[in-house]
Amino acid sequence: MSAQKHIITANHLKEGLNVYFSQHDGKNQWVHDFSAASIFETDGLEEALRQAKEDMVNNIIVDCYDFEVDTNGQPLNMREKIRANGPSRAYGHS
């Protein structure tokens, strides 16, 4: 049985948009592009989630949590499939 894989997500506090946690070259950042999100296996998830949640304390993001993805990195639940594809309705100023 393979290890479960997870992506960490949140909403950017100022923009309100979905963001995904990315760790590359020892640097943590929040990206809008779902395909740029880092995928964590269960054994590394706890530390990554702890680091991501530091940005809630620093008022950068809100509602930080992880969700499971399949072996191709695609969300398993409908809510995250919708969020990964962007808003279902246009919003903001045209």
SS3 category, 3: coil
Per-residue pLDDT, 60: 96
Kindly report, residue by residue over 75-86, the tens digit of the pLDDT. 999 999 999 987
The CA-based angle 18-89-11, given to 5 degrees, is 15
Compute the Cα dihedral for 33, 16, 26, 53 and give only its sign.
negative
pLDDT digits (tens, 9 = 90+) for 52-75: 999 999 999 999 999 999 999 999
Dist. CA 34–CA 85, nearest whole Å: 8
Helix/strand/coil for 73: coil
β-pair type (40-41, 61-69): unpaired
Question: Range with the lowest mean pLDDT among 7-21, 31-45, 54-68, 73-87?
Answer: 73-87
